[in-house]
Amino acid sequence: MTSSLIRGRPRRGRSHISVRVVHALVGGLVGVVWLVLPCLTISGAIVGGADRPVAGAEGQGEVGETSAADLVLPILAVVAVLVLAGYGFLRRRRRARGRTTPGGTPVQAAEPAVGELDAQARALLVEADDWVRVSREELGFVEGRVALVADRPDASVGAGDVEAFGRALRDAEGELAVAFRMRWQYEGGVPKEAAARRHVLAGIVGRSAEAGRLLDARAAVFDLVRGLEEGLGGGLGEALAVAEGRFRELTGRTGVAGATLRELGGRYAPSASAPVAGHVEQAKDRLVFATTRLNHARQNADLGETERAAGQLRAAEGAIAQAAVFIAGVDRLAAELARAAAMIPAALTGGEVEIAGARESLAGTGTGTGTGTQGEGAYLDIPPGELRARVTHADFVLAVVREELVSGPYDPLDVLRRIVRGVVPVVAGRTGVFPAAALVCARSAVADADDVVATHRAAVGAEARTRLAEARRLLAPPAPAPSGRGPREESAELVAADTLAEQARELAEQDIRVHGHPIDGPGTDTDGLAGAVLGGILLGGTPDGGPPPSFGGPHSRARRGGTTVA
């Protein structure tokens, strides 16, 4: 699939070949006629030119006429077959040139420039990531409807009805994950050959397009299961009930999240709550937008305008989902800060043990508290001078952290992160605290970055999303660990995920600042429309914000229009 995107060649040479084939066939036909006509002329002259018959001449004339006729018909048949075969051959070549790939992407007649292909790959990565995110979001509302009607004997939808959509979504996520991995390697200079790098870009385009095709293929059936066209007595009424229930729940949780945020500000340093600063206000903004759209969805449904009501409901669902992300982010961060604060004493103690063991290895006085990967054997791959520098740096980090802990409020995640990054280079597995501590930091950073992308989809570009995808890959539970992968390697991988996630968040926030508000001017955003467009809840392009995205890929995601608010 990937290589077929770049197999195209200029068509000028092929057109010359086609013309030559036609010329050859026509020339052959003319040559045959030129050879046959004289025979027919001579035969006719012999038969009809004599004044009187000669003995045996009548029989010879009949034989000549018969021979000429027998010769002409087979030759004409052969020529006709050759002409038809040549015509069919040319038709097949023309169809092959216009054929498309399984993902629906036309084969290019000429290879695009590398810069053009690179821009296409980045744009498709962003779009495919949005397709998957929105599809997962709407599928969650369908699952909510299943839970709502699960106890009803006349339930119109069940868990089995949504299972196929979950499989399609997982398949699309798999294609997208491979595309992001290819992009990350490409940005790292792998492969190096120009032709191979072009193949990688084509592969990214193909994988992203395939993710969209998988979702597009299920969109029509998905709408049948949702049943939003059935009105208030059917799928639309049940979907409205699910959305309104979640809206009420989030409205209550918003006040609690505000109190939690104030508590975090009083307990920890200001940097501790910085990742969720403004979350409560943005959640309220999304809920204001959802209120308007839910009201209009009800009004349109009462008037029998189910298509318009479905569009309004879908927009409200998107706003509710993003409000949930904002509120959940505050709750999650509070739990992560408490967990990090509880782990800091163990991390400090474990760091001292690891540093002492590394010093013993340098002095040659023993192997610490164990052997093999827990003793000096764990440092065989580190030159003594480098190990000594690592020990000095780790010792300095612990000293600075201890002083900070007694000087006033601090940021537990930041402190734990610095301990992990300072000590992991000398970890030999004498304590088990560092993989666990690194996991806490990495999970927090990945979740923070993902929240920014999810709630500002219209602004965040491919660079931030690529780093987030790679951080997720490193954070995922690994396959059975290969031999030689010890605690230091495991912790270092988690530290890399943590670092990439922080970079992703910084790049995403930079994209948001550059993008700015899609709607400017006083009094133009009275119902949260600007936040809805920035968050990708509406696709933009019209004064009312455009249609809401739905489950599906590029050809089906914008099918629910008619969201204009009167």
Beta partners for residue 106, in sequence order = 100
Residues 41, 172 share a domain: no
Residues 465, 367 share a domain: yes
Highest mean pLDDT, choosing among 13-22, 371-380, 394-403, 482-491: 394-403
Residues 142, 83 share a domain: no
Residues 472, 427 share a domain: yes
**Is residue 43 in some structural domain?**
yes
**Domain edge (last residue) among 500, 515, 530:** 515
**Is residue 424 in some structural domain?**
yes
Residues 400, 339 share a domain: yes
Q: Which residue has the higher pLDDT, 488 or 397?
A: 397
- How many structural domains is the chain composed of? 3
- Statement: residue 48 has pLDDT above 50: no
Residues 84, 139 share a domain: no
The whole-chain average pLDDT of the chain stands at 84
Residue 18: the pLDDT is 54
SS3 of 35-59: HHHHHHHHHHHHHHCCCCCCCCHHH
- Over residues 504-527, the pLDDT tens digits come to 999 999 999 999 865 544 455 668
Question: What pTM was computed for the model?
Answer: 0.79
**Is residue 322 in some structural domain?**
no
- Over residues 79-110, the pLDDT tens digits come to 665 666 666 666 666 665 655 545 555 555 57
Residues 78, 144 share a domain: no
Number of Cα atoms under 13 Å in the Cβ half of residue 160: 2
**Is residue 208 in some structural domain?**
yes
Residues 134, 211 share a domain: yes
Instruction: Kindly indicate the confidence band of residue 52, based on its pLDDT and cuts at 50, 70 and 90.
Output: very low
Instruction: Kindly indicate the confidence band of residue 243, based on its pLDDT and cuts at 50, 70 and 90.
Output: very high
Residues 120, 88 share a domain: no
**Domain edge (last residue) among 195, 211, 226:** 226
Question: How many CB atoms within 10 Å of residue 108?
Answer: 15
Domain that holds residue 488: 330-515
**Is residue 199 in some structural domain?**
yes
- Over residues 268-302, the pLDDT tens digits come to 999 999 999 999 999 999 999 999 999 999 999 99
**Domain edge (last residue) among 38, 73, 98:** 98
Residues 151, 211 share a domain: yes
- Over residues 135-185, the pLDDT tens digits come to 999 999 999 999 888 888 777 788 888 999 999 999 999 999 999 999 999
**Is residue 239 in some structural domain?**
no
Residue from 508, 549, 486 nearest 131 by CA: 549
* Termini Cα distance of the chain: 47
> Can you say whether the dihedral through the CA atoms of 22, 24, 27, 31 is positive or negative?
negative
**Is residue 337 in some structural domain?**
yes
Residues 485, 387 share a domain: yes
**Is residue 547 in some structural domain?**
no
Residue 56: the pLDDT is 44
Residues 416, 489 share a domain: yes
